[in-house]
Amino acid sequence: MKLLRLIPCLLLPLSGFAVEDCERPPTAELSEFKETYIPQEFNWESFSWEIADVAILAVLLAAASILSVRHHPKCRFTAMSVFALLYFGLFRGGCICPVGATANFFIGLTRPELIGKTVAILFLLPLLTAFFFGRVFCSSACPIGAVQHLLSRKTGYQLPKRLNRILQFIPFALLAATVWGALRSGIFLACRLDVYKPLFFTGHVWIGQLLNTMQGTLTEPRILLIGDTAAWLMLGFSLALGVFVPRPFCRFACPYSVLLGFFAYIGLRRRSIDPASCFSCVQCTKTCPAQAISADFKKRTVTVSNFHCIQCGRCDETCKSDSLQTPSPYPETRFPNIGKSNVLPHRLKSKSAEPEPNIQTRSCDDRIIFQTNPIHP
C-alpha cells in the first residue's frame, strides 16, 4: 500500500504540471505592494497595564476585606463585582483569570522565562488575602465569579447534601490535572475547560474596535464573535445553569477555589455564628450561594464552612439576630471582634438603648421556627 501511494509523487515531476505557473511574473498590484510595504514592529503591551492590574486587584481585595470583616451587605460586593467584570473581564479580556493563573504559575516553576513576575503576584495576592480575611477574591475581584454573582438569584436551588459533596471533589481533580499538565508538558488544561472565554474575549475585541474607531485607526468593519458554536452553546448553558444553581463554575469546576479554600480554612480570621444569639431559623442556609452554611437539626447548631465561604454578604443581610461574627486571633487588640453588632460607635449607641432579647423566654418560639424549616439530609 505504501508503494502505491508513492507512485503519484514519482510521476508528478515527469508530468511538468504547473511549472510555468510557478515561474510567472508577479502582477502589478503585488509589485506595488512590495515596493510600498514598510515593515512594522509588533508593539507589546505596555508594562504599565500590568502594574495597573496589580494595583486594582490590591485595592479591590483591600476594600472587600474591610467590608467582609465589618459584615456589610451584599450590595457593596455587587458594586465591586460589576467593576471587576468590566475591567478584568471585558476591558482586559479575562485577565485576571483564576484558572489561567493557576496554570501560569506552575509553568513558571519549571520555565521561569515564560512567565513574568506579575503573574506570580496576581496568583499569590488573593491567596494571601484569603489567609487573613477569607475568600473575598471570589465575591469582589474575580471576573468569572462576577458573572455568576450577578446572575444568581437570592434563593437559588440548593443541591442535595450528598450530591453537593460529590461534586465538590471535581475541583480537586482539576487542580491536580492542571498542576500535572503544567509541570510535565506546559499544557493549559484547565483553560480549555473555561466556558466563559467567548464572553470575555468577545467583549475585549468589541472594546478594542470601539477605541480604534474613536482614534480613527483601521479596525474590522463588522461585529466579531470569538469562539465556535460549541463554545457559545456551552457558555449559554453555563449562564442558564447559574440562574438556578448559584455559582456552578466556582463550586464545581474552578481549581483555584481549592487553593483559596485551603488558605481561608487555615487563616487567621474565620467567619462563625454566635450560638448564644442565633435562634436557628436556618434562613442563612437557604441564601448562601456556596452552600457553606449547614445546620444540625438534632444539635440545633448552625456552622459556617470557611473552606467554601466566599464572603458575599448574603448571610449578613438575612440574619436578623446579628449572629455572624469574624473574631480576631488576637483578642487583646483594639478590634478583637468586628461584627455587625459592635463595629460602629453609632450602632453601639443605638443598640444600647434597645432591650436585649431574652433567649430563654423565646425557647418555645425558637423551636417552632426551627421545625417549620426542616433540614433535609
Ranges of residues in the chain with a pLDDT under 50 are: 2, 12, 14-22, 340-377
Grid coordinates given for 46 = 505596555
Q: What are phi and psi of 113, to 5 degrees?
A: -70, -20
- Distance of alpha carbon 132 from alpha carbon 326, whole angstroms: 11
Host H or E run for residue 303: strand 301-304
High-pLDDT (> 90) share of the chain, %: 28
pLDDT of residue 366: 39
Structural domains of the chain, with CATH: 49-263 (no CATH), 270-371 (3.30.70.20)
pLDDT of residue 282: 84
Give the span between the Cα atoms of 252 and 318, in whole angstroms: 25
Enumerate residues 6+ apart whose C-beta is below 8 A from 235: 195, 196, 198, 199, 227
pLDDT confidence of residue 56: 94
Collapse the DSSP code of 276 into the 3-class scheme (helix H, G, I; strand E, B; otherwise coil) and give the result.
Answer: coil
Q: What is the pLDDT of residue 370?
A: 41
Asked whether 324 and 271 are in contact (CB, 8 A), the reply is yes
Backbone angles phi, psi at 235, to 5 degrees: -65, -45
Residue 322's contacts (CB-CB under 8 Å, 6 or more residues apart) are 277, 339, 340, 341
Q: What is the pTM of this model?
A: 0.75
Cis bond leading into 38, ω under 30°? no
Nearest to 60, CA basis, from 1, 131, 137: 137
Residue 366: all three cell numbers together? 425558637
DSSP 187-243: --HHHHT-TTHHHHHHHHHHHHHHHHHHHT----SS----S-HHHHHHHHHHHHHHH
User: How many CB atoms lie under 10 A from the CB of residue 347?
Assistant: 13
DSSP state of 93: S
Alpha helices in 87-169 (DSSP H): 98-110, 117-133, 136-140, 143-151, 161-167
Give the Cα separation of 39 and 72 in Å (integer): 56
